[in-house]
Chain A
C-alpha cells in the first residue's frame, strides 16, 4: 500500500509539470495565471500524499489547508489587479 502512494506521488509530479507549458507559452497574462493556479491546486494534493508518506499526516494537513487558502486569496487578488487594464498607459 505504501508503494502505491509513492507511485501516485511520482505520477502527480508528472501531472504538475504539464501546466508549466501554459505558464511559459500563455499568450495572455490570464493564461499564465490559470497555469499557475492549476499548479497550485495540484501541489495541494501532492502535499497531502507526501504528508501521508512521511507518516506525519496531521502536520501536513494543516500545511495543505493554509496553502489552499493562500492559493485562493492569491488568485483572487491578482485577478482583481489585472481586471482594470491599467497596464495600457
Chain B
C-alpha cells in the first residue's frame, strides 16, 4: 500500500511544481497586467492544489489530511477572488488591456 502512496505523491507533487513553474514564467513573460493575472490566478492555484493533494495522499486518513483539505478549499476560492479584485482595481485605475498590433482582439 505505501508503494502506491509514494508513487502517487511523487507524481502529484512533481506535476504541481511544474504548474507553479509555468505560473512563474507566465508572470514574467506575458506582455500585459491582465494576461499576467491569468498566470497567477490559474496555474498557480492548480499547482498548489496538486501539491496539497499529494501531501494529503502521503498523509493518509488523519487529522492532517482534513486540515490540508481546508487549505485546499480555501486556496481554490481565495486565489481567483484575489486576482479578480486586483484586475477590477487595475481596470478602474485606468490600465488599458493589451491588444495585438494588428488590432486583433486579444483577451
For B, the interface residue count at a CB cutoff of 8 angstroms equals 50
Q: Which of B54-91 contact A (CB under 8 A)?
A: 55, 58-59, 63-64, 67-68, 70-71, 74-75, 78-79, 81-83, 85-86, 88-90
Name the one of B16, B27, B64, B89 contacting A61, with C-beta atoms under 8 angstroms.
Answer: B64
Are the CB atoms of B92 and A19 closer together than 8 Å? no
**B6, B9, B71 interface centre (most CB from chain A within 10 Å):** B71
A65 at the binding interface (Cβ < 8 Å): yes
Known contacts: A34-B37, A64-B71. The answer to whether A19 contacts B93 by CB under 8 A is no
Q: A38-B23, A71-B78 are in contact. List 9 more A-B contacts (CB 8 A).
A: A8-B14, A11-B17, A12-B20, A19-B24, A37-B40, A38-B40, A57-B59, A62-B67, A75-B85
Are the CB atoms of A52 and B55 closer together than 8 Å? yes
B85 — which chain A residues lie within 8 A by C-beta? 75-76, 79-80
B-side binding surface: helix, strand, loop or mixed? helix
Are the CB atoms of B17 and A15 closer together than 8 Å? yes
User: What are the interface flags for A26-43 relative to B under an 8 Å C-beta threshold, 1 for contact and 0 otherwise?
Assistant: 001011011101100110
Are the CB atoms of A65 and B67 closer together than 8 Å? yes
B51 — which chain A residues lie within 8 A by C-beta? 45, 48-49
- Which B positions have Cβ atoms within 8 angstroms of A? 6, 9-10, 13-14, 16-17, 20-21, 23-25, 27-28, 33, 36-37, 39-40, 44-45, 47-48, 51-52, 55, 58-59, 63-64, 67-68, 70-71, 74-75, 78-79, 81-83, 85-86, 88-90, 92-95
- Which A positions have Cβ atoms within 8 angstroms of B? 1, 4, 8, 11-12, 15-16, 18-19, 21-22, 28, 30-31, 33-35, 37-38, 41-42, 44-45, 48-49, 52, 57-58, 61-62, 64-65, 68-69, 71-72, 75-76, 79-80, 82-85
